DNA sequence: CATATATATTCCTTATAATACATTTCATGA
DNA sequence: TCATGAAATGTATTATAAGGAATATATATG
């Protein structure tokens, strides 16, 4: 099941251990936009690009004919680097390799 | 030299041999939005997604750490076609050799 | 429960994207 | 030149995202 772009961005943010507030601060958008977007709401491309940049993510337009190959490549690469920051308040969101964040 | 998302979408449209009007019609947006976007203007994500879908393109959020690998893969796939076919109206845009524009 | 943090949602205002044509500009070919 | 098709732009209106700040709601912890 392929995650939507919304879900993917959210996952990325959590993987980086960032709160919406911090992501918003870094990208210069409002926390509200982060929340709205992650929940599937609409934002302008410029807003999304700011957020993506703050999350060190690129929005790559890929022809459908190529997606399969790329996705298998991405999936195969799930090997998170050792965390350089100490576990902090956001620790509960740290996405582990084989563990899902409690998703109610 | 990495093309912007705007340029990439435009290139894709041209590769499919579609006019802005046809792309707009297929995606249910206005020709104006196609033009605006391709020229770097801002659109909502929903609008962009409609256009992308009409162009059979997916917007893949890729962590920067992974982009290099993926891009080389995509780049490897470019194979310019010899232009020996009779020039048609859209011929200046035909980038692919085995792809028909709207034929039905 | 109380506290702290994160996230979702509300208010109002402003900015701007989307819509619906119409028109102009540009390039090509008869 | 004129005709044709594509693309860029004009105008007016409507819809909605963004900005700013606050508040309400979860959720985990002490």
Residue B16 vs residues A44, B91, B93, B101: alpha-carbon distances, Å: 26, 11, 8, 6
Q: Which residues touch strand C (CB under 7 A)?
A: A 14, 19-22, 31-32, 34-36, 38-39, 44, 46, 89-90, 93; B 28-33, 36, 41-44, 46-47, 87, 91-92
| Secondary structure (3-state) at B5 | helix
List the structure tokens of B61.
Answer: 């959020």
Cα end-to-end distance, chain A, whole Å? 18
What is the value of pTM for the model shown?
Answer: 0.79
pLDDT tens for residues B36-52?
999 999 999 999 999 99
Instruction: Residue count of chain B, please give it.
Output: 104
List the structure tokens of B41.
Answer: 């203007």
pLDDT tens for residues B57-79?
999 999 999 888 777 777 665 54
| Secondary structure (3-state) at A59 | strand
Give chain B positions within 8 Å (CB) of A42: 44-46
Which residues 64-83 on chain A approach chain B with CB closer than 8 angstroms? 64-67, 69-71, 73-74, 77
pLDDT tens for residues A15-34?
999 999 999 999 999 999 99
């Amino acid at each position: 099941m392929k995650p939507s772009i919304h879900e993917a961005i959210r996952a990325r943010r959590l993987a980086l251990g960032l709160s919406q507030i911090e992501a918003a601060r870094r990208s210069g958008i409002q926390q509200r936009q982060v929340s709205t977007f992650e929940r599937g709401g609409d934002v302008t491309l410029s807003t999304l690009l700011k957020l993506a940049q703050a999350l060190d993510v690129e929005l790559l337009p890929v022809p459908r004919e190529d997606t399969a190959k790329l996705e298998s490549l991405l999936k195969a690469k799930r090997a998170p680097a050792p965390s350089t920051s100490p576990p902090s308040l956001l620790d509960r969101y740290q996405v582990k390799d084989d563990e899902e964040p409690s998703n109610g």
